Every structure is written in structure tokens, then in C-alpha cells.
Amino acid sequence: MALAEPVTKALAEILGREALLTDPGDCWAYGYDNSRRQALPAAVAFVTETAQIKALVQLANEYAIPITARGLGTGTTGATVPERTGIVIAFERMNRILRIDPANRLAVVEPGVVNETLQRALSEHGFFWPPDPTSAAVCTIGGNLAYNSAGPRAVKYGTPRENTLGLAAVTGSGEWVRTGVMTTKGVVGYDLTRLIIGSEGTLALITEATLKLTPLPEGKQTLRATYRDIHAAADAVAAIMAQPITPCALEFMDASAIEMVRRYSDLGVSTETGALLMIEVDGPADCLSAAADAVASAARNDGLLELSVARDQEQIAALWRTRKALSPALRHVAPKKINEDVVVPVSRIAAFIEGLEHLSQRYGIRIVNFGHAGNGNIHVNLLVDPDKSDEMRRAERCLGGVFDLVIELDGTLSGEHGVGLEKRDFVEREIDPSALALMRGIKAQFDPKTILNPGKGLPLTAGSA
Amino acid sequence: MALAEPVTKALAEILGREALLTDPGDCWAYGYDNSRRQALPAAVAFVTETAQIKALVQLANEYAIPITARGLGTGTTGATVPERTGIVIAFERMNRILRIDPANRLAVVEPGVVNETLQRALSEHGFFWPPDPTSAAVCTIGGNLAYNSAGPRAVKYGTPRENTLGLAAVTGSGEWVRTGVMTTKGVVGYDLTRLIIGSEGTLALITEATLKLTPLPEGKQTLRATYRDIHAAADAVAAIMAQPITPCALEFMDASAIEMVRRYSDLGVSTETGALLMIEVDGPADCLSAAADAVASAARNDGLLELSVARDQEQIAALWRTRKALSPALRHVAPKKINEDVVVPVSRIAAFIEGLEHLSQRYGIRIVNFGHAGNGNIHVNLLVDPDKSDEMRRAERCLGGVFDLVIELDGTLSGEHGVGLEKRDFVEREIDPSALALMRGIKAQFDPKTILNPGKGLPLTAGSA
């Protein structure tokens, strides 16, 4: 659906010719994300100023045009795919680091700043911003905030909700709002900051974020532990989390993930290995050995096969090799993977992996699991060949079983990827009707005409957006 | 205003005779908080079950009766004072610790649990819940959540918003909702958990909280640093916060606070002392000395007079003596103190204290300052004698000046006490009309008939509740 002439004209006036795409061939590249879904936007607006965003949202309200915010398209749920066409607001050029303030442990950034670019700039001042998605090199802070995306470090340092002080944003009705504070404490009015974080561009478009910084630790030590089976590894995770030293990474791979890597590379772990943990501790240089010892001691149990501690960069790289070989291996093995990021309480990890094995057998779908064990955040990968008769249908039924299992174990359907289009039909399994009604009410407050990313994040209602 | 006969009858049916007060003499004691404001509720309901709370709220909706939630009345803003009479829901008997779960680092509690009672129970498992208001011995978790109250440890461990995973609550329309997750990651739906935390019982009545626990550190080391003036102390605070070891307490007293204590006790600090910092570091026993050294080194500057490190419990007590002598001294010196808890960015502390000195001189009001310097959370105490001609009026004008100064310095009007009645007239100095409109909209979603704690937290509107 092309835009009406006056809309295109108004867009050009707001943005200038250089910052507007309307040709379908040009627009197409801005209509996908890493879910591999794609839809054609009618226009792509490369914003650089808040005033432009306000004007765009007001225009969209006037003509009832959907607006989809986009960072760099690394999301995995279709949240940035303009399913109902309309205007994609691309934040990639609104990417200035406005302020780095070590004494107040904060940075003020525009949403298009790439995570890694920010980390590099902060490291010169001795700081970092804890959220570190795997895609840090190519994902934006705006995207991290939109999905509350974290990564391995969250086990020690938390997610964006624990690391953001305040926001500036434009709501769905085109109002500019400032939320939160410039300080680490504050309790005046309701917490709109965390409400907007994780809302996938459905409530407001973030134009500026005040991030809480953490000082860089002096050093880091890396351990790898292999176990006979998932039970032993899960026991180790629980034991590690029950003692005072919190690791800054506590990653795991299950038997099927290890098996997968084994086919494509030299693993360096014994063939009996049924589960693997990668553990990192950080802190003052003088304390690292003691911290590693404490964690290693918690990691030891009857099912432990081998515990290795890296002594230098080369050994660290060697230990991580298995884990890093996983993603390429996954790409080799199956034409399509359904990559979920569910979370279960740490004490339920073993029960969860066992349940997944049953589902895998029942539906004849290969499932490979790895993830952030310290948070119970498991990336469940269903490997499927869409060309194989019936396989997609079985995979979908299997996925329904995975989500049921997660809920049964007191877990949540998404840890850091969000809901987008992929999971909106499953949200009602987790969220009660009364909570959902409140969320819909809040959405209507921020975005009365359902302009912002319609149909994403929350389940569709009969006859509504 | 007494309740209508059918209401009293329904209350008795919901609660039973033992859990209901309607005699004004009995009710009076439940109508005050530590703001020293007081109002008479028509009834006091000692709830113990969620079903009772749902029934109460539904009844209140039917008869348009205000409901005010109450923990143990340690709040300082009048948020629990039933200004418009109605029913006080007292949570003091709904005080069970439902679950302590070390492997998942969480506890599930009812809102009436006393903070210190919880901490004692958790310590047996090697854990604590970071929020530690000064009133920890007599305040409830429900109250801590209502005001997002923290305390000294927040500088390292955060406030309730960073230490709560999920809630169960009854909204103003009598709906039971479950928010959040049982895990440390989760991004399905909007964040209602943090929205309810800090909302002072105006959105929903918390019936259960899932708290995120932290392992107890092995040890702690205490330092005291005295400085020639506030600039030197503020520089030290900024330097401490800019290096990697975050103290678990970084408290300060200004010259007027020190002077005050000096009158009533033997201080043990030199008469030149213009500011004082209490610093604590915690962590593994082997690392404490190194951590203390790192912080001490950051604390040293040209204005440092003396830096003492406590070596044992007795020395720790000696170092804290000055700080602990402050509250009793404040009670001696003035019939009334207006106790504010504003926050400014750490780098603005010196400018703030200087500005306060000017205001003190200008209005002829004595001001004593101390607080949580690591968060920039300053407890500003205006000492006044209400019997002295004109003094209250001058104090109120002075207070307006304090709030203006806070906003000018990018601060916030409340760090952990909240707004209640005391600060509702000042909220608009901090929060923009557009954000305030969203907050009012959210309030209307949760509590369409304005039953819950009407008139608290947000500024009054013309002709509205």
C-alpha cells in the first residue's frame, strides 16, 4: 500500500530527501529482521532529531499510518517487521553518544548507538554498560532497550531494566516525555522508564537513554566444566548460584549441542560429556584466583568429568572454542532453526532439559539447547527442514509443548528476545487476563490510535489491532 | 464519617470480628505515620488473605469508600494517613514468609513481613535482601515496595525495583493480578512489577512479592574519612564512584550535622572537620583489605584530615558513633524537623550543600544534612520551632527553594521516602505535564473509581480526586 501524495510530501518536508526512502526496491531492505520474516514498508524514515520523530508520529496519527521503529534488524521475533506496512523509522543515523559522565556513572546516548561502539567509548573511561547481547557488534542500544536484551553478563549485572536510569521518548500520540531520573535513586511518580523498556516500540519511540554504568573489573578468569549428564551440570549451576561469588558468565550446552559441535570440530572434551558449563568470574586482580576457586569448588560434584581453568588468553580461547563452534554448526545441520529463548528457574533446568528430550522424541524434532544457565535462560533450538513432509507442522506442535513445559515449571516464554510476532499467540499462556487487560489499557494511554508497531508484543484481540 | 450499616456488616462478614476495628478510639492509632500527620479512618481491616482484600476492594468500589494500605506506619510522607477517611487495610498480620529458595535466589513473602525478620530468616540460608531502610527493624516489605525504599546498601545493591522479580496484587477495581516472573530475566508483556513498586498503594494492593536475593558477603570493612570541607568530601565521593570497587555504604554528614552531634557527645573528630564520610566495603574475606585500600586511596585528597580503618567490632562501633548520634541530637535541638530525602547527581553534591547554606542564611532556617552520598541521596533536615513567630512560613519558603535547587541540579525530589501528601504539590516541578498525563491515565486503568489511596503520590487536579 503506497502512501497518499500529501503524506509523502509531508515526510519529505520533515526529513529532507536524503533521509527518506519510498521506492519499494530501497524500502525492502528495511522490512526484515533476524526472524527471517519480511514485509515491505511504504516508506523508511532515517530520523536524526526528536522534532522529526514528533512530526512523523503526528502525521501518522492524522493519516492512521502504522509506525515501526527499527535499530539494525538483529531482533529475532519480527518485532521490527512492518507487517501492516506503513513507515519504518530507522534509528541507525540517530547514533550520537551525548555524554559520558564517570563521576555520576552514567552515559546519555541516542537509540541508534551500536552496543559495541558504546562499550569501546566507555572502556576509555574505565566503565561498561552491562547488557551484552551476542549481537553486540551490530545491535543498537535502542533495540537492547526495546527487548530488554541482556546476554551472559546479566547473571551478575542484570538486564537493561536494572541498568537504565531514564529515557526521553515520543509516545504514540506524538507527545515528548522524559521519564526516570539522572540518579540511581528516585521515586517521584510512576516508573515509566521500565514500562517503556521491553515494550518493543509499542508504547513510545525512545529518543534518548540515560544509562547506568558499571566500572570495568580489573580482570577475569575463565573455567570450563564438563559433566556426565544434565543433572550433574544443573546441580552445579544451583550450587554456584547459592554461594557468595556470582560469576559474570555461567553458560551451558546440553548433550545435543555438544554432539552437534563434535561433528564439525575437534571438541577437546571426552565423549562421555553430557553437559558443559562455561564459567567466568571477574573482579580485582588479587581476588580472581580465590573467586575462581570458590566457583570451582561449587562446580565440583559426583558427575563432574573435567574442570579446566584457563591461565592465559590462548587457553581462554581454547575453552570457549566449543561454545563458539555451536552457532556455525547449527547453521550447517538444518535449513531452518526455530530459536527460542525461554527461561526457567535455575533449579528446574534439569527437569526442563529432560522434558525437552521427551518432546523431541514424541514429535520427531531435533532439539539443541544452550544458554545462560545462571539466569535459567535457555536457548531452545528446534532444527527443522521445511521441505520435509509434515516437519513444520510437527515442529509447531512441539514448540507449543515447549511453551507449556516452561509455564508448568514457573518459567517465562522470553528472557531477552521479546515477543514480536513470533510469540504473540502464546502470551496468554503466561499472562493472566487481568494483567493483559491492564497492559492493553496502558497501550491505549500511550498510543490511543494504535499507531506504534500495531499487533506486536501482545496477543491480537478479535476485531482489533 | 462513619460507614453505613450495610458496609460495616459486610466488613465483619469478610474479616470476622477479630480483624475489624470501627470504634474511633481503636481506629485512631492506625491513622498516622511518621510524618506526624494523622486522620481518623472509619474502619481498620486486618487482612490475612487475598480473598479478603478482593472482597474489601469490591465493597469499597460499590460504596465509593477510600482504601488506604498500611504496613507499620514508618513512612514519612503521610502516604498511609487516611486523609479522606474510609478503610485502612492493615497488612501487619499478613506476614508469612512463604518460601525461601536459595538455588533460585528468591523468597516469596506476604507484604506484612518486617524487613529485619526477613533478613534474619534469609541469613540462615546465607542470603539477604538488599533494601535496608534505617527503619528495617520496624518497617514492612510491603512498605519498602510501596516507596521503593532502600537505604545505605543501595549504592552497591540497588533499590527494591532492582531486587524484586514479581508481585501478586489486587487492583483498584478488585482484580487479582500476577506480575513479573520467578526468574531473573523475562520480557513478556509490559513491566507491571516496577510500575506497582513505588506507587504508594495508589494502583494496587500488593498481596505477595517474589524477592530477588543476594548471597551474604563473607566480610565487611569499615572506614571513616574526615575532610576540611564539603568540596573535598564530595570530590572523594566522586573519586570512589569512578573506580571499580563499589562500597556497600558511602554515607556522609555535612558540617552542620557534625556540629550538632558535637554538642551532645564526644565526637572523636577534630574541630576543623567540615564533612565526614562513612565507607564500608564487603566481599570475600581475602579481598577485603585490598578493597578497603582501593577505596581509601580514592578517598584521599588534599582536603582529607583523617582516615581511620576499623580493625574489629569495637572500632567499627566507634567509627559509626558520630553518625548514629545524629538522630537523637536532631530530636534534642528542634521541636520539629522537616526531613526531606532529595537526590542530586553525585558530582553536584558540593554545589547542592553550598546552595543549601545560602538558603539557610536567606530564610534564617537551620539546615542539617546527611545521607547516602554514593547515590547522591541527601537527607536535608530543616530544624524549626513551630511556636516561633513566622518560622514555619519561612521554613516552607525555604523548602520550596530546596526543591528548586534540586531540580536545577538535575536531581529528584525523593530518593526513597516517596511523595505521599508531603510532596504532592511539588511533583509538577519535576515531572512534565505529558508524563503526568500518562501517569494519571495509568492510575485510571488500575483504579477507575479512585478507591486506592486517593490524593496521594500525584498532584491534585482541579475538581478531581
- Tell me how close the Cα of A349 comes to any Cα of chain B, in angstroms: 11
Task: Report in angstroms the alpha-carbon separations of B90 from B46, B269, B447.
Answer: 5, 45, 19
Tens of pLDDT, residues A44-58: 999 999 999 999 999
Q: Say yes or no to pLDDT of B16 above 90.
A: yes
pLDDT of A438 > 80? The answer is yes
The residue type found at B231 is: H
Query: How many CB pairs (< 8 A) connect A and B?
Result: 290
Across B1-86, where does the E strand assignment appear? 20-21, 43-46, 67-70
* Closest chain B C-alpha to A374 CA, distance in angstroms: 9
Name the grid cell of A323.
561454545
**CA–CA separation, B295 vs B304, rounded Å?**
14
Classify burial at A437, counting beta carbons within 10 Å of its beta carbon; exposed 0-12, middle 13-18, buried 19 or more: middle
Residue A219 near residue A285 (C-beta atoms within 8 A)? yes
Contacts of B325 (CB under 8 A, 6+ apart): B261, B264, B265, B267
HSE at residue B220, side-chain half, CA atoms within 13 A, is: 14
Relative to beta strand B67-70, strand B87-90 is parallel
Statement: residue A62 has pLDDT above 90: yes
B97 and A CB contact within 8 Å: no
Strand positions, DSSP E, B129-255: 164-171, 176-180, 204-212, 214-215, 219-227, 249-254
| Among the ranges given (A248-262, A331-345, A391-405), the one the predictor scored with the smallest mean pLDDT | A331-345
| Chain B residues closer than 8 Å to A436 by CB | 189
CB contact under 8 A, A176 and B434: yes
Contact at CB, A218 and B244, closer than 8 angstroms: yes
- Domains in chain B, CATH or no CATH each: 5-90 (3.30.43.10), 97-215 (3.30.465.10), 219-327 (3.30.70.2190), 334-418 (3.30.70.2740)
pLDDT at B327 over 70: yes
A386-399 burial string, b = 16+ CB within 10 Å, else e?
eeeeebbebbeebb
Cross-chain CB nearest to A185 (options B102, B246, B416): B416
pLDDT score of B465 = 44
Chain B residue closest in CA terms to A443 = B190
For B316, the 3-state DSSP assignment is helix
**pLDDT tens-digit readout, B161-208:** 999 999 999 999 999 999 999 999 999 999 999 999 999 999 999 999
Q: Give the 3-state DSSP-derived string for B90-113, with helices as H, strands as E and coil as C.
A: ECCCCCCEEEEECCCCEEEECCCC
> A147-156, A322-331, B112-121 — which is least confidently predicted?
A322-331
Reading phi first (left if > 0) and then psi (alpha if -120 to 50, else beta), residue B283 is in left
Under 8 Å between Cβ of B149 and B415: no
Q: Give me the half-sphere count of Cα atoms (radius 13 Å) on the Cβ side of residue A440.
A: 16
Cβ contacts (< 8 Å) between B297 and chain A: which residues? none
- Three-state DSSP class for residue B300: coil
CB distance A223 to A247 below 8 Å: no
* Three-state secondary-structure class, residue B75: coil
Residues 6+ apart with CB under 8 A from B23: none
Q: Render the burial of B165-196: b for 16+ CB within 10 Å, e for the rest.
A: bbbbbbbbbbbbbbbbbbbbbbbbbbbbbbbb
Q: How far apart are alpha carbons A414 and A408 in whole angstroms? A: 15
Question: Cα(A130)–Cα(A122) distance, rounded to whole angstroms?
Answer: 11
Tell me B225's DSSP state. Answer: E
Cβ-based neighbours of B37, under 8 Å, separated by 6 or more:
B78, B81, B83, B421
Which residue from B minimizes the CA distance to A202? Answer: B190
A383 has a pLDDT exceeding 80: yes
**Residue B116 half-sphere exposure toward CB, CA atoms < 13 A:** 8
Q: Give the one of A183, A191, A413 whose C-beta lies nearest to B412's C-beta.
A: A183
Q: Average pLDDT in the B21-27 region? A: 96
pLDDT at B431: 97
Indicate the pLDDT class of residue B54, thresholds 50, 70 and 90: very high
CA distance B372 to B281: 14
User: Residue A375, by phi and psi: left (phi above 0), alpha (psi -120 to 50) or beta?
Assistant: alpha
What the block records as the C-alpha cell of B105 is 535466589
Give B 60-89 residues with CB within 8 A of chain A: none
Question: Nine-digit cell at A310?
Answer: 584457563
Q: Which of the residues B187, B251, B439 would you substitute to probe the A interface, choosing the one with the greatest number of A C-beta atoms within 10 Å? A: B187
* pLDDT at residue A463 is higher than 60: no
Contact of B51 with B72, CB cutoff 8 Å: no
Integer angstrom CA distances of residue A426 from A143, A258, A418, A437, B183: 22, 30, 12, 16, 18
pLDDT, one tens digit per residue, over B228-250 is 999 999 999 999 998 999 999 99
State the DSSP string of A201-265. TSSEEEEEEEEEPEEPPSEEEEEEEEESSHHHHHHHHHHHHTSS---SEEEEEEHHHHHHHHHHS
pLDDT tens string B196-233 = 999 999 999 999 999 999 999 999 999 999 999 999 99
- All residues of chain B having their beta carbon less than 8 Å from the beta carbon of residue A195 are 190-191, 194-195
CB contact under 8 A, B176 and A434: yes
- The pLDDT value given to residue A465: 44
Measured between CA atoms, the residue of chain B closest to residue A348 is B104
CB nearest to A284's CB, from B159, B175, B245: B245
What pLDDT shows up at residue B172? 98
Is B366's pLDDT higher than 80?
yes
> Sign of torsion, CA A89 A92 A96 A100?
positive
